[in-house]
C-alpha cells in the first residue's frame, strides 16, 4: 500500500514536470512563432486545426478558444479527413496540424492530400526532422524532452505545451485585433459569463421599489418609506428629483440613540450627503465591485442627469449569480 503522502508527491511531481516543460518552451520560442501568428492574423478564411489521438483533443480546445476570441476556426480530425471531412476546407483557410511525432500515418496522409491544394499548412511538432516538419509550409518546433509519465509514453508534458501554445496564439491574435471586453461579450451572451459582460442595472433596478423622501420629510415618513421600500434605505431628493443624499436604517438607529424628542426631526437633520450613486446603464458587475469596495449593500441608481430612478441592492446581484 502506498501512503497519501507518496500519492501527493506523485501529483506534485507531475505538475512540476509540466510547469518546467512550459518554462523551457517559453524560453525556446522565437520569431518563427510570430511569423505563424501573422499568417493566422492575415488569414482570409478560417483556421482549420487538426490532429490525431491526444493532439486531436487539444486541437478541439484550441478551436474553441479561437472561436470565442474572434478567430473563426474549425476542427478537422486527421483520421476522418479522408472520409469526407476534407469538404469543410475552403480555398482561403489555413491548416494548423498538431502532432507529437509528426510521423503518424494519418498525419502523413493528410499532408500528402493537402499538398495538391492551395492552402497553407502549419505544423506544430515535437520532432524537428519529422515528416510534418519537413512537409509543412511553416512549422513550429516545440521541444519536449520527456513526458511526466513515468514510462515516458503517455502524452502529458507534450499536450500541455500544445495547449499553452494554442492559448498563446489566441492571445496574440486578440492583441493584434484589439479584441475588447465588448467583443468578448458578443461571443459569450449566455450563463454567468454573459451576465458579467452584458447585464446592466437597467435590467435589475425597475424590479425594485424606488423609495425616496425630501429634506422636510418627518422622521415618521422616513421610517415608513424605508419599511415600505424593503431596501434598508431611502434616497433624499429635491423637487426636480436630483439626488441630495441617502438615509439608511443604520442612520435611523444611530439617530434614535442620541435624541429624545423625535417629533422635531426631519430628513435634513440626519441624511448623509454625497451618497454613492451609479448610472442606470452601468454593467451590473461594476455595481457589485463598487459595493464591495465601499462595504455597502445598496446603491442609488440615477440617470445621466443625476436624477433619481431607483435602487439596486446587493441581494439583486447575488440573485443574478454575480456574487
Give the residue numbers of the binding site for Zn(2+): 77
Q: Which residues are annotated as a binding site?
A: 77
98 and 58 Cβ atoms separated by less than 8 Å: yes
Closest CA to 248 of 261, 237, 235, 265: 235
How many residues are listed for the chain in this entry? 323
Cα–Cα separations (whole angstroms), residue 156 to 19, 77, 147 = 11, 20, 6
What distance in Å separates the CA atoms of residue 191 and residue 201, rounded to the nearest whole number? Answer: 17
8-state DSSP, 322 = -
Cα 57 to chain centroid distance, Å, stands at 22
DSSP code per residue over 139-185: EEE------SSTTS-S-SHHHHHHHHHHHHHHHHHHHHHT--HHHHH
Amino acid at each position: 500500500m502506498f501512503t497519501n503522502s507518496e500519492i501527493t508527491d506523485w501529483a506534485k511531481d507531475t505538475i512540476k514536470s509540466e510547469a518546467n516543460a512550459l518554462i523551457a518552451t517559453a524560453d525556446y520560442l522565437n520569431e518563427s512563432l510570430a511569423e505563424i501568428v501573422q499568417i493566422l492574423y492575415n488569414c482570409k478564411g478560417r483556421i482549420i486545426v487538426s490532429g490525431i489521438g491526444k493532439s486531436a483533443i487539444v486541437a478541439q480546445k484550441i478551436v474553441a478558444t479561437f472561436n470565442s476570441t474572434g478567430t473563426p476556426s474549425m476542427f478537422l480530425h486527421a483520421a476522418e479527413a479522408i472520409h469526407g471531412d476534407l469538404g469543410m476546407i475552403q480555398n482561403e483557410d489555413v491548416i494548423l496540424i498538431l502532432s507529437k511525432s509528426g510521423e503518424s500515418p494519418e498525419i502523413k496522409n493528410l499532408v500528402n492530400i493537402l499538398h495538391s491544394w492551395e492552402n497553407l499548412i502549419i505544423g506544430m511538432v515535437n520532432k524537428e526532422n519529422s515528416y510534418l516538419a519537413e512537409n509543412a509550409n511553416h512549422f513550429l518546433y516545440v521541444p519536449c524532452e520527456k513526458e511526466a509519465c513515468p514510462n515516458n509514453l503517455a502524452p502529458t508534458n507534450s499536450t500541455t505545451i500544445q495547449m499553452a501554445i494554442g492559448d498563446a496564439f489566441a492571445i496574440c491574435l486578440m492583441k493584434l485585433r484589439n479584441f475588447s471586453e465588448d467583443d468578448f461579450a458578443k461571443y459569450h451572451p449566455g450563463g454567468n459569463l454573459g451576465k458579467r459582460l452584458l447585464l446592466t442595472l437597467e435590467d435589475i433596478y425597475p424590479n425594485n421599489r424606488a423609495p425616496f423622501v425630501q429634506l422636510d420629510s418627518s422622521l415618521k415618513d422616513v421610517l415608513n418609506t424605508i419599511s415600505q421600500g424593503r431596501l434598508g434605505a431611502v434616497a433624499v431628493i429635491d423637487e426636480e428629483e436630483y439626488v441630495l443624499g441617502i438615509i439608511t436604517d443604520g442612520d435611523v438607529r444611530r439617530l434614535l440613540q442620541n435624541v429624545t424628542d423625535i417629533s422635531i426631526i426631519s430628513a435634513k437633520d440626519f441624511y448623509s450627503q454625497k451618497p454613492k450613486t451609479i448610472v442606470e446603464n452601468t454593467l451590473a458587475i461594476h455595481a457589485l465591485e463598487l459595493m464591495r469596495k465601499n462595504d455597502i449593500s445598496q446603491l442609488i441608481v440615477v440617470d445621466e442627469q443625476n436624477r433619481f430612478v431607483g435602487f439596486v441592492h446587493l441581494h439583486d446581484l447575488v440573485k443574478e449569480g454575480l456574487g
